[in-house]
Amino acid sequence: MSPGVRQFALTAHVVLSVGWLGAVGVFLALAVAGLTSADPEVVRAAYLATDVITWYVIVPLAFAALVSGVVQSLGTTWGLVRHYWVLAKLLITVLATILLLVHTQPIAIVASAAAEGPLTHAERPLQVQLLGDAAAALVALLVATTLSVYKPRGVTRYGWRKQQEERSGAKAEA
Amino acid sequence: MASDRDSSPGTPAWVKVFALVVLVLVLLFVGLHLAGGGLGPGDHAPPIERGLRQR
């Protein structure tokens, strides 16, 4: 990648990833409001909103962050599996995206119930589950963001081998 | 940022801790769902297709 394209790709990846984190923060706030509000209309509105932001904000941002991260790592010297911190971020992003898609089910169930009328005790376990899922997702994305900033030391066996090859290549040219 | 110039291929301690935490969380997730935390019949379609917006 040329320096200009690299900067653009990095900016896009940061915006998409932090946007995902922010959207999950909004989801968490709605899940808290849905679980704690005494006003049935506020509860219904909160869960209808969680469904909408899941499909139109969180899911698209999750995939966009994943794709832009893969492009960013493959297009730079960091590589996708050369450094442990990149590998860890990839694992977090893939797992978070899979779990997000799995948990669209309880989100849809609670939203459908909210669309029908005031929620009952039957939905309570799912409401608690949504709160837990959102909190777990927020922690996972905060860990991923921290890894991006601190870039902790450590290369994989593959990365180390590549480094050795590049060094021998550079010595041979000299 | 630390350079990896002198790093050996050995696995850093933070990676081992991270892998352990991920493994525990995955097992916990699978265990919870197998132990009756089933989600029930759901719908993977976006809300607009389920008609939530038509109300």
What is the tens place of the pLDDT at every residue in A92-121? 999 999 989 988 999 999 999 999 999 998
Res. A163 pLDDT band, cuts 50 70 90? confident
pLDDT of residue A81: 93
pLDDT of residue B36: 60
Beta bridge partners of A83: A155
Is A112 within 8 Å of B1 when comparing Cβ atoms?
no
Picking from B24, B30, B50, B55 by the largest number of A CB atoms within 10 A of its own CB, the best residue to mutate is B50
Nearest Cα of chain B lies from the Cα of A171 at a distance, in angstroms, of 15
Nearest Cα of chain A lies from the Cα of B29 at a distance, in angstroms, of 10
pLDDT of residue A23: 98
pLDDT of residue B47: 59
Helices (H), chain A: 3-36, 40-53, 59-74, 84-102, 104-116, 124-150, 157-173
Nearest Cα of chain B lies from the Cα of A154 at a distance, in angstroms, of 6
| B13-34 helix and A84-102 helix, angle to the nearest 10 degrees | 10
What is the tens place of the pLDDT at every residue in A10-51? 999 999 999 999 999 999 999 999 999 999 999 999 999 999
Task: Decide: A90 and A156 in contact? Cβ < 8 Å.
Answer: no
Nearest to A31 by CA among A140, A124, A93: A124
Q: What is the mean pLDDT of chain A?
A: 93
Task: Decide: A1 and A9 in contact? Cβ < 8 Å.
Answer: yes
Q: Whole-prediction pTM value?
A: 0.83
Mean pLDDT of A130-148: 94
Question: Closest partner residue to B15 among A84, A102, A111, by Cβ?
Answer: A84
pLDDT of residue B55: 43
What is the tens place of the pLDDT at every residue in B1-55? 444 445 467 889 999 999 999 999 888 888 877 776 554 444 445 555 555 544 4
Task: Decide: A68 and A16 in contact? Cβ < 8 Å.
Answer: yes
Residue B28 with chain A: CB contacts under 8 Å: none
Q: With 60 as the cut, is the pLDDT of residue A4 above it?
A: yes
**In Å, how far from its chain's centre is CA A99?**
10
Q: With 90 as the cut, is the pLDDT of residue A171 above it?
A: no
Is A155 within 8 Å of B9 when comparing Cβ atoms?
yes
pLDDT of residue A45: 97
Is B52 within 8 Å of A111 when comparing Cβ atoms?
yes
